[in-house]
């Protein structure tokens, strides 16, 4: 006869099967180099936390005034919140046998967040790590335990429309992915050379640890890499701890430029550089500058031609002992930077935001000129180490960090925290230029105003987040004729368009009616990047009550698409169209 303990174990196993069965996304789980694993109940020293699946974002009812200035008013179903939301536990360990954890963070085009956590212990040395895929609000979507990736490189292949490299927590590798889904990785492994790895779109390792720079030193294991819009590879490192050094490659790493000294100071230590590129192909670099008494945060900007736009500028106003700063760039080319104070028993984590569009004309700028948001502590009175950050497409900042006492055999945890940006309008003008407007308001009512710079059709994206970190997105289109604003959306007496269910899995029914005779009607489905996924054409379309088309979540090749937001657009003839969105959940 079974005792209560046996029944309890069976209950846990069945519960785990239920909880994890719905989380496997076939579009992700079958990818090359992506290892899926169930929780290991025998590893009682590791606790893998799951938060509730609260992914219902704010929704919008959008209106605007019809005058020279466009005022878009947003009424959301939920209160909008600006600022840092409550932290969420991702991972924890009891008596972890190493001084600290080491984490990495990345984002894909669907705004999923990837957190990698180093597993190395003195008692159980290995090069693997745990990797978590998170929803945009920080809730865990899927976990992958004891994972390494293809060829020991933590690359997620074609997930869902681009490769994602989350860097290597154990070996201090950093990498980036170009427009052809080719991944480039740099590291040092504690030697005197910069090593380079290149991985094809399908996960095949093309170049493995090739020496591209010689004569560096052990501090070079802190190497940064970034790729601009022309697929130029840019790398930065600290040579002999006193020299921030830069090089680039225009041919995918086949050859490299002569290393260029950007900032040399023989009396101070300059190390742990990070690099990123904005949409205008400017290069931004940060590092920590140790003067002997203070560890300051330094910043430099390069023009696309490699000339210095802004020479070394100190971003920190006070002696915060900046340690291992991290940054990412948003759609407006602003830089979001976070760091922790000192390197061991830290009590605070700091954030600042600087204007990446500033051009110093080759001259150094003061912090007051550079900063949009001055440095401030967003976490305090906690043992915090090594925060990482990424910025999503809606200018929200995501960060993970370690908590727990510094030293061996101490309890350690990894937490997630998100900073919601202000509700934002992103406007694509008729000439394809982009405007950004931060909205103002409170609760569920917000509005933003801008002046159309020219006649034509404008596409507006509205985004906002709630107190739980859920981000809602909606789209609006209008035509500016010079006097009034004319809706480009079709009035209800011409087109009626909807889908049910929404959200849906695995299929949804798209219903529409057109009260005008049209020679043809097309229904097209697009992803968030604006790429056409599938199209339906109905010829000789005439007045009819309601037409229905079932979309089964596949593309033109009948291959399943990934979870996420999709747009369906109905066009009747050459003059009328309407677009709505739907959410596919798997």
* Cβ within 8 Å of residue 548, ≥6 positions away: 509, 510, 511, 512
Which of 109, 224, 227 shows the shortest CA–CA distance to 164?
Answer: 109
Is the pLDDT assigned to residue 206 strictly greater than 90? yes
How many structural domains compose the chain? 2
Q: Are residues 424 and 522 in the same domain?
A: no
Tell me the pLDDT band of 50, cut-offs 50, 70 and 90.
Answer: very low
Read off the CATH number of the domain in which 574 is found.
2.60.40.2550
Residue 515 has what pLDDT?
58
**282 belongs to a structural domain:** no
Q: Are residues 453 and 523 in the same domain?
A: no
**431 belongs to a structural domain:** yes
Q: Are residues 61 and 137 in the same domain?
A: yes
Query: Residue 576's domain spans which residues?
Result: 490-586
- 75-84 b/e with 16+ CB inside 10 Å = b? bbebebbeeb
Residue 575 has what pLDDT?
63
Is the pLDDT assigned to residue 484 strictly greater than 60? no
Mean pLDDT of the chain: 80
Least confident span in 41-45, 91-95, 278-282: 41-45
**φ/ψ (deg, to 5) at 26:** -55, -30
Tell me the pLDDT band of 220, cut-offs 50, 70 and 90.
Answer: low
Is the pLDDT assigned to residue 29 strictly greater than 70? no
Choose the final residue of a domain: 429, 454, 488.
488
- Residue 150 DSSP one-character state: G
Q: What is the pLDDT of residues 236-250, one digit of tens each?
A: 998 888 999 999 999
Which of 184, 232, 234, 233 shows the shortest CA–CA distance to 209?
Answer: 184
Q: What is the pLDDT of residues 393-428, one digit of tens each?
A: 999 999 999 998 888 999 999 999 999 999 999 999
Q: Are residues 420 and 511 in the same domain?
A: no
d(CA 162, CA 147): 20
Tell me the pLDDT band of 41, cut-offs 50, 70 and 90.
Answer: very low
Which of 255, 280, 36 shows the shortest CA–CA distance to 146?
Answer: 36
Q: Are residues 484 and 506 in the same domain?
A: no
Residue 493 has what pLDDT?
40
Residue 141 has what pLDDT?
86
Q: Are residues 464 and 497 in the same domain?
A: no
Tell me the pLDDT band of 565, cut-offs 50, 70 and 90.
Answer: confident
Least confident span in 47-61, 219-233, 377-391, 456-470: 47-61
Tell me the pLDDT band of 495, cut-offs 50, 70 and 90.
Answer: low
Q: Are residues 477 and 534 in the same domain?
A: no
Is the pLDDT assigned to residue 19 strictly greater than 70? no
Q: Are residues 466 and 437 in the same domain?
A: yes
**Residue 10, H or E segment:** helix 4-21
More confident site: 62 or 197: 197
Handedness of CA 70, 73, 74, 80 (dihedral sign): positive
pTM: 0.77
481 burial via Cβ count (<10 Å: 0-12, 13-18, 19+): exposed
The answer to whether 402 and 341 are in contact (CB under 8 A) is no
Q: Are residues 65 and 142 in the same domain?
A: yes
**260 belongs to a structural domain:** no
Q: Are residues 51 and 124 in the same domain?
A: yes
Instruction: Give CA 349 to chain center in angstroms.
Output: 20
**51 belongs to a structural domain:** yes
Is the pLDDT assigned to residue 486 strictly greater than 60? no
- Residues in the chain, total: 586
**408 belongs to a structural domain:** yes
Q: What is the pLDDT of residues 506-532, one digit of tens each?
A: 888 887 776 555 667 788 999 877 788
Residue 36 has what pLDDT?
29
Residue 40 has what pLDDT?
27
Tell me the pLDDT band of 292, cut-offs 50, 70 and 90.
Answer: confident
**φ/ψ (deg, to 5) at 301:** -130, 135
Choose the final residue of a domain: 471, 488, 505.
488
More confident site: 143 or 262: 262
Is the pLDDT assigned to residue 489 strictly greater than 50? no
Q: Are residues 437 and 513 in the same domain?
A: no
417 burial via Cβ count (<10 Å: 0-12, 13-18, 19+): buried
Q: At CA 395, angle to CA 392 and CA 398, rounded to 5?
A: 55
Q: Are residues 425 and 467 in the same domain?
A: yes
The answer to whether 346 and 338 are in contact (CB under 8 A) is no
Q: What is the pLDDT of residues 344-366, one digit of tens each?
A: 667 789 999 999 988 776 677 87
The answer to whether 547 and 513 are in contact (CB under 8 A) is yes
Tell me the pLDDT band of 64, cut-offs 50, 70 and 90.
Answer: confident
Choose the final residue of a domain: 488, 518, 539.
488
Tell me the pLDDT band of 541, cut-offs 50, 70 and 90.
Answer: low
Tell me the pLDDT band of 23, cut-offs 50, 70 and 90.
Answer: very low
Residue 13 has what pLDDT?
37
Is the pLDDT assigned to residue 84 strictly greater than 90? yes
Residue 343 has what pLDDT?
63
Which of 212, 213, 207 shows the shortest CA–CA distance to 183?
Answer: 207
Tell me the pLDDT band of 320, cut-offs 50, 70 and 90.
Answer: low
**521 belongs to a structural domain:** yes
**102 belongs to a structural domain:** yes
**248 belongs to a structural domain:** no
């Amino acid at each position: 006869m079974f005792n209560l303990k046996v029944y309890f174990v069976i209950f846990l196993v069945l519960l785990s099967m239920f909880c994890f069965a719905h989380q496997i996304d076939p579009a992700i789980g079958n990818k090359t180099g992506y290892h899926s694993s169930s929780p290991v109940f025998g590893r009682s020293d590791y606790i893998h936390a799951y938060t509730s699946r609260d992914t219902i974002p704010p929704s919008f009812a959008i209106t605007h005034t019809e005058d020279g200035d466009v005022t878009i008013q947003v009424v959301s179903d939920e209160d909008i919140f600006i600022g840092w939301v409550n932290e969420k536990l991702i991972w924890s360990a009891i008596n972890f046998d190493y001084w600290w954890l080491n984490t990495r963070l990345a984002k894909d085009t669907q705004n999923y967040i990837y957190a990698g956590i180093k597993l190395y212990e003195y008692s159980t040395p290995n090069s693997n790590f745990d990797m978590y895929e998170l929803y945009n609000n920080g809730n865990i979507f899927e976990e992958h335990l004891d994972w390494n990736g293809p060829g020991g490189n933590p690359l997620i292949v074609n997930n869902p429309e681009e490769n994602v490299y989350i860097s290597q927590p154990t070996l201090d590798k950093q990498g980036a992915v170009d427009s052809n889904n080719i991944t480039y990785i740099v590291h040092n492994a504690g030697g005197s050379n910069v090593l380079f790895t290149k991985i094809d779109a399908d996960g095949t390792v093309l170049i493995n640890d090739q020496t591209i720079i010689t004569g560096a030193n052990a501090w070079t294991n802190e190497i940064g890499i970034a790729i601009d819009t022309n697929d130029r590879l840019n790398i930065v490192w600290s040579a002999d701890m006193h020299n921030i050094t830069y090089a680039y490659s225009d041919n995918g790493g086949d050859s490299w430029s002569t290393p260029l000294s950007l900032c040399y100071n023989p009396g101070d230590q300059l190390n742990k550089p990070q690099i990123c590129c904005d949409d205008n192909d400017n290069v931004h670099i940060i590092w920590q500058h140790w003067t002997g008494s203070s560890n300051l945060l330094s910043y430099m900007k390069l023009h696309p031609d490699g000339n210095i736009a802004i020479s070394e500028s100190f971003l920190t106003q006070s002696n915060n002992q900046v340690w291992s700063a991290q940054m990412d760039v948003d759609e407006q080319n602003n830089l979001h930077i976070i760091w922790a104070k000192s390197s061991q028993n830290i009590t605070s984590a700091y954030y600042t935001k600087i204007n990446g569009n500033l051009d110093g004309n080759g001259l150094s700028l003061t912090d007051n000129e550079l900063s949009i948001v001055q440095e401030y502590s967003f976490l305090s009175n906690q043992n915090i180490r090594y925060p990482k950050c990424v910025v999503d497409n809606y200018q929200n900042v995501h960060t993970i960090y370690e908590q727990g006492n510094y030293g061996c055999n101490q309890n350690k945890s990894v937490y997630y925290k998100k900073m919601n940006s202000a509700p934002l309008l992103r406007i694509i003008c008729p000439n394809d230029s982009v405007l950004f407007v931060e909205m103002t308001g409170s609760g569920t009512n917000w509005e933003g105003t801008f002046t159309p710079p020219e006649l034509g059709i404008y596409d507006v994206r509205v985004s906002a987040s709630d107190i739980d970190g859920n981000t809602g997105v909606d789209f609006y289109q209008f035509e500016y004729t010079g006097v009034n604003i004319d809706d480009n959306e079709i009035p209800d007496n011409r087109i009626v368009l909807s889908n049910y269910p929404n959200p849906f899995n695995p299929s949804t029914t798209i219903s529409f009616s057109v009260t005008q005779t049209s020679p043809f009607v097309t229904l097209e489905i697009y992803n968030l990047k604006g790429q056409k996924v599938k199209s339906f054409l109905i010829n000789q379309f005439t007045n009819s009550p309601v037409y229905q088309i079932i979309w089964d979540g596949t593309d033109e090749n009948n291959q399943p698409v990934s979870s996420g937001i999709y747009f369906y657009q109905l066009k009747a003839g050459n003059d009328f169209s309407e677009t709505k969105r739907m959410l596919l959940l798997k």
